[in-house]
Structure 1
Amino acid sequence: MQLIERILTCYGWEGAALAGALLLLLGVQLYYYIFVYGRIPGYKNNRRPTVRETEPPVSVIVPMFSEDYSFVEERLPLILAQSYPDFEVVIVYVGHDTDFYADLVRLKQSFPLITTTKIHLDPRFPISRKMALNVGIKSAHYECMVFTSTDACPQTDRWLSLMAKGFMRGDIVVGYCGVERLKGFTNYMMRAWRMMHAVDWIARAVRRRPYRGILHNFGFTKRIYFGANGFSHLNMNIGEDDLFMQRVMTRDNVSVILSPRATLREKAWGGMSWWMGCLRYYGSAFRFYPQAVKNYIQWELGSRSLFFLAVICAVAVMPLEYKLGALLLLVARYVTVFVEVRRIAQRLGEERLMSRYFIYDLLSPLWALALGVMLLRRDDRVWR
């Protein structure tokens, strides 16, 4: 009480209100980074009850929407070279190039574990990724299935082994996929954005409140898929990794795989305009998320933005000792954020992110605001 009276006497009710706002917003930030995100580095999936006694055979399903020779020559061999005794790779080619499809079929002569199927591409009847995955699921020989994309590249030969081991603890398995490491500030921001937005859903998943995975690295069983009568939101070309997963995920059926050896990397096909186009496309599903999930995501961004504004206000108009106190709170937040994000980056296999992370930390609320404005406009690519 004496402290409050002293603040009121020295700085007036405006100063007291600003101090309360600073402390409240800092408390929200520390809660997120210590008690929510901070559970990721120490998470152990083997604490979950056993569902299967042995590692099951797995079908890896890859939809292909173009004549992607770079995938066949560079990324497919890394999938085929996985150190796992019993798996198949199901490639679903959506196109009309018969020569390319014949090349895919011939791969089976050298690699018997490849199964190839084709959907003829007719411009009058566009084929969505969900439709291609549905064909792949029906073509798969095994109960447990892992889904990836032609853009994703395993970083080690243990990726599939770790994902398959996840099926021993649950019928749904989610893993992490980062963006490939390239030079330049744009690539850095893309990598940081991918990691920190993955942290949102990973943190919820390890707390047994899952709401999504990532389309480059997730899996589920046929029982889960057919029990839900297939994918949901069929009027949309997106949603298989979030809107559908929200229907089938429960507190007890999700297995989270966190390891640098289980991390994939998505190929970056362009710069910032390409990346923002991707965020706008896949972000169109956000409006259909449960309100509790929306609040959970927005509270961190909102409290961070308001905390920065409160510090700026204190530094701009308050006396020297008040300015120093506000800056001390800012430093305390940055130390906490740096320590926790560094631990998370190590767990996910993200390297060389921390030296410039404060820049991302400052700019990402503005980036999220710009994306929110973009999402106000309907993206016709999303709807069927």
Structure 2
Amino acid sequence: MLHLLFYALIGIGIIQLLYYLVVFGKFSFLKNNNSTPKRIPISVIVCAKNEEENVQKFVPLLLEQNYPEFEIVLIDDSSSDNTLEIFEAFEKQHSNVKLVKVENNEAFWGNKKFALTLGIKAAKHEYLLFTDADCYPTSTNWIKEMSAQFTLKKTIVLGYGAYEKIQNSFLNKLIRFETLLTATQYFGWAKIGKPYMGVGRNLAYKREEFFKVNGFIDHMKIRSGDDDLFINQAANGANTTICFSKDSFTYSKPKTTFKEWFTQKRRHVSTASYYKGFDRFQLGLFYFSQLSFLLLAILLLSFQYLWMIVLPIVLFRYLIAWLVMGYAANKLNEKDVIYWYPFMEIALLMVQLNVFLSNIFSKPVHWK
């Protein structure tokens, strides 16, 4: 039995190396994407529901963007706080702000996708740049950097949505490590020509891509997925590119309690179950190979079975993964989480296992 487990470790180790070196390495070892700035008009779209504090702070940062022609489409999704009043004030003060008011609709009640659809239709320009109400760009060149990636063929741009750093917080490092790993995955697959997701915190596409797939209609009943399910359906190797210059990042405030973050992860994982078959397979295979490699390594080493061979195999796998993720972390300004890499990976595996088991027995709650 131990003999078979030893060969299983080797086989799973090869799968892991293929993921890290071939898929993730496609992004990690990529040269910086310096593109020629464009002057195409951009509509920045922000959808908010009960976000009065965030929009008061972050909309002014959008207005300060260093870009020749852009509008900001503010969508109030039937807020019960002062979000609508704040949006109305911005519209009165700035000529390039457009307000879209969404009334409660019985057929689409509480559905962010319905609100976004109204905002997309109301946008003046064909090129759309999305972020969330609780996000802010890292620089005044955010629009310039994201729009620079558009070409005649590349009409979908996947950006990086980061989380703020909190000093001396293991949870914060774990959240940012998971965000780093996810971005490395979807950037790597996009470079291979198999894009499967993006994040609504930092995402751009031409409006025609939205209408080509009839918007969100195929997954309108699924409360989440206005970003990743749309990209999973609309993106392909020909029309999709990535943007990872540091001036193109957006930042959000991370969850500060494990319970809040765990609930958020449950929503994300439940949405991924609606991805295309290949994408579900590759994500499942990566997680299975991660967990299996760890368990097999522990089992074989605990029995000291061929430990002089098993230990170097384990160390080599973690060294390669550490190296690949280190290059990705340098690109995405997350270097501090890599110092704790092996611990972060093991902790994240345990969280993901708990998320999977929790979702089997109950459904997570989505958009507010």
TM-score (norm 1): 0.87
Moved more, 85-94 or 306-315: 306-315
1:371 alignment partner, one of 351, 355, 358: 355
Q: Percent identity?
A: 24
- CA shift, 1:124, in A, is 9.5
Match of 2:8 among 13, 21, 28: 21
CA deviation string 1:61-120 (max 9, x = no partner): 001101413322x22222222221111111011235696534422323443221112123
Partners of 2:22 and 2:345 in 1: CA distance:
19
- CA shift at 1:268, angstroms? 2.0
Q: Which residue identity lines up with residue 225 of structure 1 in the other structure?
A: F
TM-superposition CA deviations, 1:293-317 (whole Å, max 9, x none): 1221122221222222222222222
* Within-5 A mapping of 1:164-175: 164-168=147-151, 170-175=154-159
Contact residue 24 and residue 185 of structure 2 kept, 8 A: yes
The letter of the residue matching 2:62 is I
Q: Residues 241 and 141 of structure 1: is their aligned pair in 2 closer, same or farther, counting only changes over 3 Å?
A: same
Structure 2 CA distance, aligned partners of 1:226 and 1:125? 19
Pick from 345, 351, 355 the counterpart of residue 361 of structure 1. 345
1:226 aligns with 2:211: yes
Q: Secondary structure at the match of 2:343?
A: helix
Task: Give secondary structure in 2 for the equivalent of 1:288.
Answer: coil
Mind listing any 5+ residue stretches in structure 2 that lack a counterpart?
none
Which structure has the larger Rg?
Answer: 1
User: How far apart, CA to CA, are the structure 2 residues paired with 1:291 and 1:330?
Assistant: 30
From 131, 153, 168, the counterpart of 2:136? 153
CA contact (8 A) 2:33 2:243 kept: no
TM-score scaled by length of structure 2: 0.91
Deviation of 1:252 (Å): 0.3
2:280 aligned partner, one-letter code:
K
CA distance in 2, matches of 1:226, 1:295: 28
Instruction: Quote the residue 2:177 is aligned against.
Output: 192
What is the count of residue pairs matched by the alignment?
365
Q: Are 2:112 and 2:367, in contact at CA under 8 Å, matched by a contact in 1?
A: no
2:50, 2:367 → 1: CA distance?
20
Q: Secondary structure at the match of 1:106?
A: helix
1:353 aligned counterpart, secondary structure: helix
Match of 1:259 among 221, 235, 245: 245
Query: RMSD over aligned Cα, in angstroms?
Result: 2.6
Alignment partners' CA distance in 2, 1:100 and 1:304? 43
2:160, 2:244 within 8 Å by CA — same for their partners in 1?
A: yes
| Residues 1:249 and 2:235 aligned together | yes
Q: Could you tell me how far apart the structure 2 residues matched to 1:99 and 1:294 are?
A: 40
Deviation for aligned residue 1:188: 1.1
Q: CA deviation at 1:196?
A: 0.9
Q: Pick from 297, 301, 311 the counterpart of residue 315 of structure 1.
A: 301
The CA distance in 2 between the partners of 1:96 and 1:218, in whole Å, is 24
1 CA distance for matches of 2:253 and 2:276?
Answer: 30
| Cα distance in 1 between the residues matched to 2:82 and 2:174 | 39
Correspondence for 2:98: 115
SS state at 2:211 partner: helix
Q: Which letter maps to 1:34? A: L
Alignment CA distance shift 1:100-1:340 (3 Å): closer
For the residues of structure 2 that align with 1:248 and 1:189, how far apart are their CA atoms? Answer: 31
Gaps of 5+ in 1: 1-13
CA pair 221-328 structure 1, distance change in 2 beyond 3 A? same
* 1-structure distance, mates of 2:8, 2:148: 46
Aligned residue for 1:245, secondary structure, equals: helix
Q: Deviations over 1:207-231 (max 9, x none)?
A: 1111111111112212111222221
1:30-49 aligned at under 5 Å gives the runs 30-43=17-30
1:324–1:130 distance in 2 versus 1, CA, 3 Å:
same
8 A Cα contact 2:55 2:83, kept in partner:
no
Task: Look up the SS of the partner of 2:259 in the other structure.
Answer: helix
User: Which deviations, in whole Å up to 9, do the C-alpha atoms of 1:38-59 show, x marking residues without a partner?
Assistant: 11033368699x9xx9441110
Cα pair 1:96 1:121 within 8 Å, conserved: no
CA distance in structure 2 between the aligned counterparts of 1:241 and 1:273, rounded to whole angstroms: 24
Per-residue deviation, residues 257-283 of structure 1 (Å, max 9, x unmatched): 122221112212441111111111232
Q: 1:45 to 1:327 in 2, by over 3 A?
A: closer
CA distance in 2, matches of 1:299, 1:16: 23
Q: 1:45 to 1:357 in 2, by over 3 A?
A: closer
Query: Which amino acid is 2:45 matched to?
Result: I
SS at match of 1:112: coil
Equivalent in the alignment of 2:270? 284
Tell me, yes or no, if the aligned pair for 1:261 and 1:349 is still in contact at 8 Å. Answer: no
Q: Is the 8 A contact 1:166 1:255 kept in 2?
A: yes
- SS of residue in 2 equivalent to 1:202: helix
